[in-house]
Structure 1
Amino acid sequence: MVQVSDDLQVRVAALHLFPIKSCAGITLEEALLVETGLELDRAWMVVDTEGRFVTQREQPRMALIRPTLRHFDLVLRAPGMLALHLALDAVDQACRVQVWNDEVAAYDMGELAGQWFSDFLGQRVRLVRFDPEQRRLSSTRWTGDIEAENAFSDGYPILVASSAGLDELNRRLGASGHAPVDMLRFRPNLVLAGLEANGEDHLDEIRFDTPEGPIRLKLVKPCARCTIPDVDPATAAQGHAVGDTLASYRADARLDGAITFGMNAVIVEGIERMLRVGSTGSASYRFD
């Protein structure tokens, strides 16, 4: 039997947007919520010559590709490269690409973008943009009756983490003689203050009352972790301290012992409304 607790207060500590899957992110003061999550989050993706997605797991140098979002374009910079400007309202040819087990419709971003990424990564790749007419849905095993749309995210529209969870990880890293890490290694969209360490694990819903109307997010699945949090976003150097430390205390029975950090969330209400840093909201705990 599932029980839901009374509300507790939480605060939006940070908002992060990752326009290109597995490249660096952008820290925002406010973000528009759309059907697939934060507007333009994981809207672009790098693919190999077979059309399969490429990430920091294979190409840690992707962490060094840093986007800047402007009114009409996305500007990409990387060490040793001239800036690449991508118009927000332009694409090239339609194509089909693969992200995990999903084959989806997309648009190639053209020869210049493909060459820029290929030169920097030392591998023939293309840059593609998600086709907004494509409906890629999260697994209903976790979302139930909610049809949650995604662009090129790993499978859910919003990733939620807590600042206290990062504090606890850094406490454990420090006790083992390792340097602290920042939240961008975990690539969350929404960082919450006001929770105990990893308190997001047991949240049911979060509600924010905005000037445009309420936003309700339902936390549905723990986020299993791979090697990407061990890639230093500043240097692209790979380590193992983060993964080793998480493995000592973050095995999650809900995912058969997988190592988790953060929770995947779906949108119950709030499309076309703004999330803002500093906003307070209410959250309810879920007890199974």
Structure 2
Amino acid sequence: MAEPSARVKSIFIYPVKSCKGISLSEALVTPTGFRWDRQWLVVNENGRMLTQRVQPKLALVEVELPKEAFSESWEPTSDSYMVLKAPGMDTLKVSLIKPRDVVEHVSMWYWNGSALDEGPNAAEWFSKFLGNPYRLVRFDQASQIRETDPSFANGYKTLFNDQFPYLVLSQDSLNALNKILKEPIPVNRFRPNILVEGCGPFSEDLWKEFKINKLTFNGVRLCSRCKVPRTDQETGIVGTEPTETLQRFRSDKVLLPHKKPQGQVYVGQHSVCKDCFTGDKGKIVKVGDPVYIVKQLSSTAEAAA
């Protein structure tokens, strides 16, 4: 077998969208992404999603799940909780048992549907911390489907992720960026699911098909970055970097010269897992797994964005 092009350095999930992530040694691949990833969402009074773009204080909310929740066959019991912590707030415990109440007209981007309501305690907690009325909802996988954009990945689905189930980023890309930033930034600014290393800066742009632990992934679209990477994930303070620097060498004008520029900057690649729908057990990605490139583009200019 050919030598691997990279290795998995870190794995992250973000159970509550826009809150702090959890670093894992291994993660279970499901039809909607890694298990527990973006299963919860904070919404306003109208059911519209809330993210760090509008409320950067979400970055300060720590999320904990029981260790056993990451075992493949584990199912929650009445004693199973997600624990949330934030500065100046009491600890919030959210039962992992499926709630019964439903919130209608939940919306994010172009998707509208219903979601499961995590109740008045969670609503009061987020409202107090953020200063406006909010609720915490859970994706209702029994009744709702969020399909990925068929122009890029037809037939796939996700939960409360922005667009696609996985975001892949290389440590080499982050290192290259940090060499030219006045103040280096940590990987949590970019919120990847799979951080790889050993492949060279921004080589993940070119990965059309790659394998991790015998699972086939497809790179489907370059990740255009919003203002979240400008938010210090430890303080919630929003600055101008790294976007200002990225405009110089990672903008659509530079990377995609044949397309009309929209003022976007790109870091990382959205991906889907081709093998996510099979019933086989053991679909797991682990830190240290080799990454094998099966197909790749010849230049970033060919990439979908």
- In the aligned structure 1, how far is the partner of 2:235 from the partner of 2:96? 28
One-letter code aligned to 2:208: D
- In the aligned structure 1, how far is the partner of 2:261 from the partner of 2:30? 32
Residue 290 of structure 2 is aligned to residue 280 of structure 1: yes
2:102 to 94, 99, 116: 94
Q: Which has the higher contact order (CA 8 A, sep 6+)?
A: 1
Which residue of structure 2 aligns with residue 132 of structure 1? 141
2:269 to 259, 263, 284: 263
Which residue of structure 2 aligns with residue 38 of structure 1? 34
Deviation at 1:105, TM superposition (A): 2.5
* TM-score normalised by length of structure 2: 0.86
Deviation at 1:286, TM superposition (A): 2.1
- In the aligned structure 2, how far is the partner of 1:255 from the partner of 1:188? 27
Deviant stretches of 4+, over 6 Å: none
Structure (1 or 2) with the greater strand fraction? 1
Q: What's the secondary structure of 2:242's corresponding residue?
A: helix
Residue 155 of structure 2 is aligned to residue 147 of structure 1: yes
Residue 180 of structure 2 is aligned to residue 167 of structure 1: no
Kept in 2, the 8 Å contact 1:137–1:149? The answer is yes
1:112 to 117, 121, 124: 121
- In the aligned structure 1, how far is the partner of 2:3 from the partner of 2:250? 25
Deviation at 1:13, TM superposition (A): 0.6
- In the aligned structure 2, how far is the partner of 1:105 from the partner of 1:264? 25
Q: In structure 2, list runs of 5 or more residues that go unmatched.
A: 69-79
Which residue of structure 2 aligns with residue 3 of structure 1? none
1:61 to 50, 57, 70: 57
- In the aligned structure 2, how far is the partner of 1:249 from the partner of 1:40? 34
Deviation at 1:148, TM superposition (A): 1.1
What does the per-residue CA deviation read over 1:244-286, in whole Å, with 9 as the maximum and x for residues that have no partner? 0111110132684521111100110145511100111201322
What does the per-residue CA deviation read over 1:213-240, in whole Å, with 9 as the maximum and x for residues that have no partner? x211100001111110011011111100
Deviation at 1:7, TM superposition (A): 7.6
Kept in 1, the 8 Å contact 2:31–2:276? The answer is no
- In the aligned structure 1, how far is the partner of 2:115 from the partner of 2:176? 40
**Matched pairs, number:** 273
Work out the percentage of aligned pairs sharing the same amino acid: 34
Deviation at 1:92, TM superposition (A): 3.9
The 10-residue stretch of structure 1 (133-142 or 58-67) with the greater mean CA deviation from structure 2: 133-142
Residue 25 of structure 2 is aligned to residue 29 of structure 1: yes
- In the aligned structure 1, how far is the partner of 2:261 from the partner of 2:287? 34
Which residue of structure 1 aligns with residue 77 of structure 2? none
- In the aligned structure 2, how far is the partner of 1:166 from the partner of 1:98? 32
2:46 to 40, 45, 50: 50
Deviation at 1:84, TM superposition (A): 0.6
Q: What's the secondary structure of 1:114's corresponding residue?
A: helix
What does the per-residue CA deviation read over 1:190-222, in whole Å, with 9 as the maximum and x for residues that have no partner? 01112111111111112123xxxx211100001
- C-alpha RMSD over aligned residues: 1.6
- In the aligned structure 2, how far is the partner of 1:229 from the partner of 1:240? 9
Q: What's the secondary structure of 2:116's corresponding residue?
A: strand
- In the aligned structure 2, how far is the partner of 1:247 from the partner of 1:68? 35
Q: In structure 1, list runs of 5 or more residues that go unmatched.
A: 1-5
